[in-house]
Amino acid sequence: DRLKQKSVSLPSGIATPAVKHRLWPEIEKVTMEQLHYARLGVGGAGGWQLFAEDGDMRMYRREEEADGLVVDPLKACHVVKGVTGHEVCNIFFSPEYRSGWEATLEDMTVVENISNDTLIFLQTHKRIWPATQRDSLFWSHIRRVSDDQDPDAHDLWIVCNHSTELPDYPANTGKCVRLYLSVSLVCQTFIDPPKEGERIKREDITCKITYCSVVNPGGWAPASVLRAVYKREYPKFLKRFTSFCIDQCKDKPIVF
């Protein structure tokens, strides 16, 4: 019957658009808000205090509490040579790399695959003594954004992680207290023009990274212990993550 529709399977590699998902309006809004927030500087009246510095890496925080819980916003900048923003964001987003750089996790599961660029993760974090262990449930979205604010940048990539809810994974029903996070990783690529007729090499590439994080522990956790853990773990994370990226990419073709 020529009017009968054939079932058509999409060739692999074609993205299913996330735009039809119920979370899409929130993903769109939060990702763009996070990008705006990441681009704001750390000077002036923002109240950011520098708490860690190592080479090109700078980490700032603001001491803040909500209902007696530490929710200190964190902002970090780093400059890494030899990798593109696309490569760095891919590694931050993709579940297959996570165990290679994320040292504060006990477990990670992808509970929903919304599209090629959007996943929902359930993670169990390592316990911080003497507090109860934490878990988190969040969507993670990666995208390229045209960078009209910085004419020198080749492009801009962002990964945004933001807590969500799913009836199948209710909060605070097992051994963990649910924490709530809003995290962004924003990367810009800069390329030194190679000599006439030569191809761009890894040494010609510089990636400027901004990492922002706000975590609400979701329940009692001693402020001093939490602040001490953050002070130690965030610099460790950014150094470990960026060296992991350099190592992963070094012998591979450049992904612009």
Enumerate binding residues for ligand 6CM (CB under 6 A): 102, 104-105, 123, 125-126, 128, 161, 181, 183, 215, 229, 233-234, 237
Tell the smallest beta-carbon distance from residue 10 to ligand 6CM (Å): 29
Tell the smallest beta-carbon distance from residue 176 to ligand 6CM (Å): 11
The answer to whether 71 touches 215, Cβ cutoff 8 Å, is yes
Q: Which is nearer to ligand 6CM, 183 or 254 (CB)?
A: 183
Dist. CA 180–CA 34, nearest whole Å: 15
Backbone torsions φ then ψ of 111, nearest 5 degrees: -95, -20
The answer to whether 26 touches 165, Cβ cutoff 8 Å, is no
Dist. CA 92–CA 160, nearest whole Å: 10
Any idea what the Cα angle at residue 63 is, between residues 207 and 131, rounded to 5°?
100
Q: Which is nearer to ligand 6CM, 84 or 161 (CB)?
A: 161
Tell the smallest beta-carbon distance from residue 36 to ligand 6CM (Å): 19
Tell the smallest beta-carbon distance from residue 215 to ligand 6CM (Å): 5
Dist. CA 202–CA 256, nearest whole Å: 11
Q: Are strands 118-125 and 134-145 parallel, antiparallel or unpaired?
A: antiparallel
How many whole angstroms from its chain centre is CA 164?
15
Q: Which is nearer to ligand 6CM, 83 or 205 (CB)?
A: 83
Tell the smallest beta-carbon distance from residue 227 to ligand 6CM (Å): 12
